[in-house]
Amino acid sequence: MLPECRTEGDPFEVPVFTIDKGDIEDFLDELKGFHGEFRECFLRSEPRENFYRYMVGQFSELERKSIEPIALAVEDGAVRSMQRAISDAPWDEKKMKSKYRYLLAEDMGDTRGVLIFDETGYLKKGSD
């Protein structure tokens, strides 16, 4: 199935790939490891665990990815505690951003490099 902005025969076709159960299990292990890097950014374990559930929900097949559908769909999810974790629970946002930048630089860092995202899905007009 192609996005509305794409048609059959487009020069920039959507790549086809398959995912099996093992890929998902490996991904969840990676997500747990990624989440663990931010352990010290949370003052309590409950918001930290709810934040993980929220991340899992963002990668789910849910049509609506707000907190309520996520909390109802993920294992051990509770709507109110997830809402509190995202909106009211204290976490160290500055430390979280710093840790994320560090991880990103570790994976992709090069003092002479840049990373540019431009996925408009449309052919560009002109020669520049």
Q: What integer pLDDT is reported at residue 81 of this predicted model?
A: 93
User: Residue ranges per domain, the chain?
Assistant: 21-97
Backbone phi and psi for residue 42, each to the nearest 5 degrees, phi listed first: -110, 140
d(CA 41, CA 93): 7
pLDDT score, position 35: 94
* Count of Cβ atoms closer than 10 Å to residue 41 Cβ: 20
In whole angstroms, how large is the CA radius of gyration of the chain? Answer: 19
Residue-wise pLDDT tens for the chain (128 aa)? 555 666 666 666 666 677 787 787 788 889 999 999 999 999 999 999 999 999 999 988 898 999 999 999 999 999 999 999 888 999 999 999 999 999 988 888 777 777 777 766 666 677 76
